[in-house]
Amino acid sequence: MSKRIEAKITCPRCKHQFDYTLYRSIWGEYPENRELVMSDKINVAKCPSCGDSTKLVFPFIYTNAKQHFAVWWEPEYDPQIDKDSAGYANMLGEGNYLATAPRVRDWDEFKETILKFERGELKGKPGTMSSGMEGQMKGFLKDLEKKNKKQNSGCLGMVAAIITVAGGLGYTLFQIIL
Ligand SMILES: [Zn+2]
């Protein structure tokens, strides 16, 4: 599933506060999801009070498990992406397409990068993701349990309970839905 995050948005125009669910990841192999990105409608919040629409400057990863590629839109440096990439490398092996997903700052360049992967001009490595994410995740979690029992090591930084984004962006995240 695409990962979504609840956020409190403050409308930049009228200062009304409302809840909005942001995408942190989106599964681009589904045409309706791809369309959300390509038509610039992803993470655009419409204020219920004044009707103004705001595109939220929030990094997310676009993935396509069928074509084995992923691309981050990272308008501002996000240290959580370093942790996510390390988690993917641990889970799926170094060099797989999620761990090595390009991090693109510019929105148009981000979309162009997706198109390049779709046309085969860029290629990602499948890793072990292609054989079914859920099975892999379950296997991974079992491995993690074993490791934790053996080594009593902490988490791999894959799951964060709370992300807070600097106030200037006008929204606060308070929960991640996995
Ligand atoms: Zn408003």
Instruction: Please provide the average confidence, as pLDDT, over all residues in the chain.
Output: 81
Structural domain of 132: 4-177
Q: Where residue 161 falls among pLDDT bands split at 50, 70, 90?
A: very low
- CA–CA dist 67, 29 (Å, integer): 8
Q: Residue 50 in contact with residue 11, Cβ under 8 Å?
A: yes
CA of 109 to the centre of ligand 1 (A): 29
- Number of separate domains in the chain: 1
User: Ligand 1 centre and the CA of 123: distance in Å?
Assistant: 42
For 67-88, write each residue's pLDDT tens digit: 999 999 999 999 999 999 999 9
Q: How confident is the model over 18-46, as a mean pLDDT? A: 96
Cα 12 to ligand 1 centroid, rounded to whole Å: 7
Per-residue pLDDT at 13 exceeds 90: yes
List all residues 6 or more positions away from 81 whose beta carbon is below 8 Å from its beta carbon.
59, 61, 72, 74, 103
Q: How far is the CA of 47 from the centre of ligand 1 (A)?
A: 5
Q: Report the largest interatomic distance among the alpha carbons of the chain, rounded to a whole angstrom.
A: 56
User: For 86, phi and psi rounded to 5 degrees?
Assistant: -65, -40
Q: Which of 89-98, 101-110, 113-122, 133-142 has the lowest mean pLDDT?
A: 133-142
Let me know: does 138 contact 107? Beta carbons within 8 Å. Answer: no
